[in-house]
Amino acid sequence: MFDIIKLKTASAGKRGLTSILIIYTGGTMGMSYDKTDGRLIPFDFSKILEKLPELYRFELELTILSFKKPLDSSNIKPDHWITLAKIISQNYEKYDGFIVLHGTDTMAYSASALSFLLENLNKPVIFTGAQLPISEVRTDARENFITALEIASARKAGRPVAPEVCIYFNNFLLRGNRAKKMQSNHFDAFVSENYPSLAEAGVTIDYNASFIAKPDSTKKLKVHSKVDTNVCIIKLFPGINRSYLNAALDTPGLKGVVLETYGSGNAPTDEWFIQALEAAIKSGIIILNVSQCIGGTVDQAKYQTSRSLNRIGVLSGEDITTEAAVTKLMFVLGNYKRNITKLLTKPLRGEMN
């Protein structure tokens, strides 16, 4: 299932080096343009040093574990999140940090999912990728990859500087479960509107230490290996009709819904709409309210158009992103039988305030 590539840098063979495991799942970074028809195809990742000779200069022990069949991130599924969590678990004691090279389209989902699956994480897990292939002359892949390596290996007083699941992209380090992809044709692909960046890379890498997780180093990593995919996202829009809503809520086996509402958590007050949600909640379906806005928070007591949701038992997602909300819902439903409401409405990994 995997190819393992040991990179021989200039410092290879030295003892006591910081060790980094790089997991290549696929995505634009590891692609090249086919000379015959111009389409993007995976290149041989064992030749990464030809594309990034700068890696020779690192005082690090680097290992690359590559999926044999690299995946476009549109094809990433929850099973792949479990696989990534298991890889990190199996190699946790061998390496000081981890980098996940991943396509950008679903990177925020994967980073959010890994943050929940890796409980008591005390080492950096840095997701990164690129908008242009690493084989191109003008590409963001080199800077993203090299700086992600620096961050994953950075230590202060013998401890990692960024011991959490993050996304590094275009000069900014973001908490993974706070990030959202916002651009498909610019290098600044990701934003984190509701939480400050953890670091900014310029001439130096300036860490925002007060906002970086401070895990309890005495606790051992606990890796979860279950998610429940019986969830859906319902995005509200003017004109949403009863048949559409009922069809979604009547999905066989449905256990949870991320309801994307307007503004600070507002929704239509039509009687049929509220009754449909109330009936779903009484049948045992969890409904989690998140805002369609990029920034801001859900406040179900602020307007009349959200108080009805509060009354019937819709849960407030506060300032959580949709990506974090759906993966958290899968995680909680897959691993807990009790206190579901409490777990969903409190921060587990810094995903909400």
| Integer CA distances (angstroms), 321 to 2, 74, 96, 173, 183, in order | 32, 19, 29, 17, 16
Q: CB neighbours (10 Å) of residue 75?
A: 13
Contact 130, 28 (CB under 8 A): yes
The span from the CA of 305 to the CA of 170, in Å, is: 39
What sign does the CA torsion over 114, 129, 46, 44 have? positive
* Catalytic positions, written as ranges: 28
- Residue 220's CB is within 10 A of a number of other CB atoms, namely 9
Q: How many Å apart are CA 123 and CA 98, to the nearest integer? A: 8
Cα 160 from Cα 157, distance rounded (Å)? 8
Between CA 88 and CA 102 the distance in angstroms is 15
